[in-house]
Structure 1
Amino acid sequence: MLLTPKERGYFFPAEWHPHEATWITFPHNDHSWQGDKLHHMYPEYFALIKAISQGEKVRINVNNIELRDFILGELSSYQIDPNQIELFIRPTNDAWCRDHGPAFLIKNNNRDRLLLDWVYNAWGGKYPPFDDDDRIPKSIAQDLRLECISPGIIMEGGSVEFNGKGTVLTSRSCLLNPNRNPHLNQAQIETYLKDFYGVEQVLWVSDGIVGDDTDGHIDDTVRFVNEDTVITMVEPKVDDDNHQVLAQNLSELKEMRLLDGRPLNIIEIPMPDPVVIDEFRAPGSYANFYICNAAVIVPIFQCPQDAIALDILGKLFTDRPVIGLSAREIIWGQGSFHCLTQQEPKSAL
């Protein structure tokens, strides 16, 4: 009988663990950004690439040669160092590398790494085709010559949040949704999380925010900023559709205890003003930040709460700068910076 990654000593490190690189999948699907909006989001996307590349390689899944040539032609326009960019031509469907990309596990002080290849079905089969994206983890494993393990169930990187010390946070609305793994109950899903991510404890909140087509990914609502501190989004306006669900999540967080019995240190951040595009409310949230080597990159939406969120996060992250980048065009695709990225932890080799 094969040993699980946990039994072999592997675990998924916290996002603030040093990175070898960040993986992204370059957007090309007109349906995700409704045609002309795809090109409108490119300046924000290249700004994200530039910010990440200040401290680590950016490894990009590129759908074809034409898209590769487009990217190479744009790097100088955005003053991006081409030596920090690595392009891998492989078929792709969409841009959300957090969900379809591999999960990197480490052990032995980073001397050993392996990849998890969860099944990906585009958030319950909402956006076919997704077969090319589902193949990306195995393809990356071949490029990096790393072992790749397939647990055999559906899982998305945006649905789980780690403190690097044995705890994972997730949401019932997503992982218990019948459009993911209807044959598994909560206890069985917890077993998968523990065995394959190398954690000891699973903590559950209820739901996600309005406009989130992932059925409530945790990376729009609650994030670890260190091993015992989380930020959680709150909506002060009681008539807002997000008010009650975020209040419920906050109430649940207050009852949680870490492995050593400590309560969570909970920091509240107010939601941005609603981001409404063509009468659709997009899932704008400051929780969808990305922690890379050079900075914490926070999506901002040109509203008064931007400054509040950046100030709060700036006081929490003292080891790297916190920067705000516009995400008003990117959010039309119903995701932001964390959804677009997947970290590759640094190797000690």
Structure 2
Amino acid sequence: MISPKNDGYTFPFEGLAHEGTIILLPYREDTWEDGGLKAFPEFKSIIETISMHEHVYVIKSPKVKYDTSCLNMKNVSIHELDYDDSWARDNTLIFLKKDNKIKAVDFGFNAWGGKVDGLYSNWEDDNKLGSNLSKLLNIECYLDKDFILEGGSIHTNGNKTLLTTEACLLSKGRNSNLSKEEIENHLKEMLGMDKVLWIPHGIYNDETNEHIDNMACFLDENTILLATSKDTNDIQYKWSMEAKRILENETTASGKKINVLLVNTPNPYLALTNEEANAIKLDSGAKERLKGDRLAASYVNFYMGKDFIILPKFNVKEDLEAYNLLNEFYKGTKKIYSIESRNILVSGGNIHCITMQI
């Protein structure tokens, strides 16, 4: 079998140097407030910040209706391609590395669950996006379209250890024809991994079937940042303590014990306001977003490169706690930017979800 693992390619740690970052601009009226107009200033701030550190490939759908001329800035290039929604973490490519060479894997995409519990009814342009991007970037791809996988459902320590949730990867809308063992073996082959760490759940009410990138991520080879709730009566607290117990009794592929750092989610939890709900059009083919819906807010959903971190900001007291925790861990080696991302959150994701590192 020709696979990335056989070829010596592996999924690298996010916090290393990138060739660039991919971001897709929002436009869906049934997902984004005012067709993406409300979230665009947050996208702009994120693009501008990343561009101070590396190149940003902004992908713009022909369906984007608002003015994007403010993105004509240094270290940013704008390209037009079709896609169904703007979660670059999930509908683009997974980039692998071997020495200084890059290849990518183009997995199948079905809007987080297909006909079982997908978030919209037509994902054809999303599923074609990886192929179109590989041509744009001139990067060779391994095709794996029969296996459904989103980038937000996996994290790696960069040394052949993968982290994921059972809730997502074992969901009925993805690869229900495969057993857990078969899924794990496939991940190892296609991402160059030796070990997969599984935790049962992610963030409560995360509509992606609980992606790992909202719940836990590696800060270095053997340290995992795990989201939890201050409210010991909250289901999130129960899920997080279960994950903590599992991870602290695990080792990495190289045999190192895992250290777990906890970061609090906003307490009380954030919920969709009436104004936000009214700015999103209901559509029979997309998930309804209603006043009072609990939002899956988490500081783990940050994006990092070699020398920067872009951290979600919700204008609550926990913002500073998360900032201080990461600042203390990295001791100035990564500049941390807190950027407001509420208007991204109301559409179902956050900063990590809208970015993909090359």
TM-score (norm 1): 0.92
Which amino acid in structure 2 is aligned with residue 122 of structure 1? A
Equivalent residue for 1:12?
Answer: 11
Which amino acid in structure 2 is aligned with residue 119 of structure 1? G
Kept in 1: contact 2:160–2:194 (CA 8 A): yes
Greater mean deviation of Cα atoms: 82-91 or 325-334: 82-91
Q: Distance in 2 between matches of 1:285 and 1:329?
A: 14
Q: Distance in 2 between matches of 1:294 and 1:42?
A: 25
Matches within 5 A, 1:182-331: 182-273=176-267, 274-277=269-272, 278-318=291-331, 319-331=333-345
Equivalent residue for 2:138?
Answer: 145
Equivalent residue for 1:48?
Answer: 46
Equivalent residue for 1:74?
Answer: 70
What's the secondary structure of 1:82's corresponding residue?
coil
Kept in 2: contact 1:52–1:293 (CA 8 A): no
What's the secondary structure of 1:224's corresponding residue?
strand
Q: Distance in 1 between matches of 2:150 and 2:64?
A: 26
Number of residue pairs matched? 333
Kept in 1: contact 2:102–2:139 (CA 8 A): yes
Cα shift at 1:250: 1.2
Which amino acid in structure 2 is aligned with residue 70 of structure 1? D
Greater mean deviation of Cα atoms: 113-122 or 269-278: 269-278
What's the secondary structure of 1:283's corresponding residue?
coil
Is the aligned partner of 1:87 residue 2:82?
no
What's the secondary structure of 2:310's corresponding residue?
strand
Equivalent residue for 1:162?
Answer: 156
Q: Distance in 1 between matches of 2:122 and 2:184?
A: 29
CA distance 1:309–1:82, shift in 2 (3 Å): same
TM-score (norm 2): 0.90
Cα shift at 1:39: 1.8
Cα deviations by residue, 1:178-234 (Å, 9 ceiling, x for unpaired): 110011011111111110100100000011112210111001111101011111111
Cα shift at 1:307: 0.6
Cα shift at 1:294: 4.8
Is the aligned partner of 1:178 residue 2:178?
no
Q: Distance in 2 between matches of 1:16 and 1:261?
A: 21
Equivalent residue for 2:283?
Answer: none
Kept in 1: contact 2:37–2:66 (CA 8 A): no
Cα shift at 1:148: 1.1
Cα deviations by residue, 1:80-122 (Å, 9 ceiling, x for unpaired): x623111121111101010011111111x21x22111000001
Is the aligned partner of 1:102 residue 2:93?
yes
CA distance 1:53–1:294, shift in 2 (3 Å): farther
Kept in 1: contact 2:60–2:78 (CA 8 A): yes
Which amino acid in structure 1 is aligned with residue 61 of structure 2? N
Structure 1 unaligned runs (5+)? Answer: 76-80, 345-349
Structure 2 unaligned runs (5+)? Answer: 273-290
Q: Identity across aligned pairs (percent)? A: 30
Q: Distance in 1 between matches of 2:307 and 2:129?
A: 26
4+ aligned runs moved over 3 Å, structure 1: 66-69
Kept in 1: contact 2:22–2:88 (CA 8 A): yes
